[in-house]
Copies of this chain bind each other. A is one copy, B any other.
Amino acid sequence: MAGPRGEYRKSAERRAQILEAASTVFARTGYSASSVNEIARVVGISQTGVLHHFAGGKPALLQAVLEQRDARAEDRLSGRHGREFLAGLVAISRAQADQRGLVQLYRLLAAEATDPAHPAHEYFSTRFRRIADAVTQAYREVADAGGLRPGLDPRTAALRTLAMTEGLELLWLQGFEVDMAGDIADFLDAHLTDPLARG
| SS class, residues of chain A in contact with chain B | helix
Would you call A194 an interface residue if the criterion is a C-beta within 8 Å of the partner chain's C-beta atoms? no
A171 B187 Cβ-Cβ under 8 A: no
Contact A162 B167, CB 8 Å, known A107-B111, A115-B104, A190-B190: yes
A104 to B113, CA, bound (A): 10
Which chain A residues (110-147) contact chain B, with CB distance < 8 Å?
Answer: 110-112, 114-115, 124-125, 128, 132
Number of interface residues of A (CB under 8 A): 34
Would you call A165 an interface residue if the criterion is a C-beta within 8 Å of the partner chain's C-beta atoms? yes
Point out the residues of chain B lying under 8 angstroms from A125, CB to CB: 174-175
Q: 0/1 per residue, A154-167, Cβ < 8 Å to B?
A: 00100110111111
Which chain A residues (170-193) contact chain B, with CB distance < 8 Å?
Answer: 170-171, 173-178, 183, 187, 190
Cβ contact of A115, chosen from B30, B115, B176, B178, cutoff 8 A: B30
Cβ contact of A159, chosen from B30, B171, B187, cutoff 8 A: B171
A176 B108 Cβ-Cβ under 8 A: no
Point out the residues of chain B lying under 8 angstroms from A178, CB to CB: 159, 163
* CB closest chain-B residue, reference A107: B111
A174 to B121, CA, bound (A): 9
Min Cβ gap A102→B in Å is 13
Would you call A36 an interface residue if the criterion is a C-beta within 8 Å of the partner chain's C-beta atoms? no
Would you call A19 an interface residue if the criterion is a C-beta within 8 Å of the partner chain's C-beta atoms? no
Point out the residues of chain B lying under 8 angstroms from A159, CB to CB: 171, 176-178, 183
Min Cβ gap A97→B in Å is 15
A93 to B90, CA, bound (A): 28
The 8 closest A-B pairs by CB, nearest first: A167-B167, A163-B167, A111-B111, A166-B167, A163-B168, A108-B111, A114-B173, A166-B170
